[in-house]
């Protein structure tokens, strides 16, 4: 831990109030973004796709993939000539499936017919929310492992969980962002583990 935290250790720990208010550790997580990948199993001519669809961005000199923008649900799909897709911007797996279905239809217009249902893999879920606690980030930075906190540069504390794997961005008012989980179960377990770890640090 750096000198900033060490210099405040006594004052932080003497303030036994890690939570300036303590109630049940409720969380209201809302998924903001899901990153998912899939493969169509067929090659795609990105040049043809860019010419046939107005909702595309393609500059092969700068990047080998084509960006296909979907209006509803609002999202963006990165399409590679190999047929691999990266979908981002959706807020549920159902939306991911809907977006991939739209992409398949648009690709079909250039003669690439996809008959097999592609397997979708969620790579990352980004969720935001809040716990009903006011957090002393100085104490958390000192007492928890795998934290990063530089209040002069940014007001949030980064806390990395090992099991389950997740990264939290925590703010003193209890608001948070969670990233790194791949399904609802992992997301919920990460929140439970976060609450347990904070309570252990506080001695509550």
pLDDT by residue, tens only, the chain of 204 residues: 444 333 443 333 333 334 333 333 445 789 999 999 999 999 999 999 999 999 999 999 999 999 999 999 999 999 999 999 999 999 999 999 999 999 999 999 999 999 999 999 999 999 999 988 889 999 999 999 999 999 999 999 999 999 899 999 999 999 999 999 999 999 999 999 999 999 888 765
Is residue 152 within 8 A of residue 184, CB to CB? The reply is no
**Structure confidence at residue 203 (pLDDT):** 66
11/50 same-domain check? no
**Residue 188 belongs to domain spanning:** 3-30+124-202
How many distinct structural domains can be found in the chain?
2
109/170 same-domain check? no
Give domain status of residue 35, yes or no.
no
Nearest to residue 79, comparing CAs of 91, 64, 99? 64
In DSSP terms, 159 is beta-bridged to 147, 168
Is residue 57 within 8 A of residue 65, CB to CB? The reply is no
Pairing of strands 121-135, 175-181: antiparallel
CATH number at residue 16: 3.30.310.10
User: What span, in angstroms and rounded, lies between the C-alpha atoms of 32 and 128?
Assistant: 7
């Amino acid at each position: 831990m750096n000198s900033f935290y060490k210099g405040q250790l006594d004052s932080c720990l003497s303030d036994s109030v890690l939570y300036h208010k303590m109630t049940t550790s409720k969380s209201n997580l809302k998924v903001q973004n899901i990153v998912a990948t899939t493969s169509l199993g067929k090659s795609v001519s990105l040049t043809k796709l860019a010419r046939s669809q107005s909702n595309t961005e393609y500059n092969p000199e700068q990047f080998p993939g084509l960006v296909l923008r979907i209006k509803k649900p609002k999202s963006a799909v990165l399409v590679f000539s190999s047929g691999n897709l990266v979908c981002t911007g959706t807020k549920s797996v159902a939306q991911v499936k809907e977006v991939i279905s739209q992409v398949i239809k648009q690709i079909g217009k250039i003669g690439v017919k996809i008959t097999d249902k592609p397997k979708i893999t969620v790579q990352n879920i980004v969720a935001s929310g809040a716990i009903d606690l006011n957090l002393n980030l100085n104490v958390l930075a000192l007492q928890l492992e795998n934290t990063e906190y530089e209040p002069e540069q940014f007001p949030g504390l980064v806390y990395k969980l090992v099991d389950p794997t997740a990264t939290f961005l925590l703010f003193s008012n209890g608001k948070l962002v969670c990233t790194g989980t791949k399904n609802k179960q992992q997301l919920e377990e990460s929140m439970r583990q976060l609450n347990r770890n904070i309570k252990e640090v506080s001695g509550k």
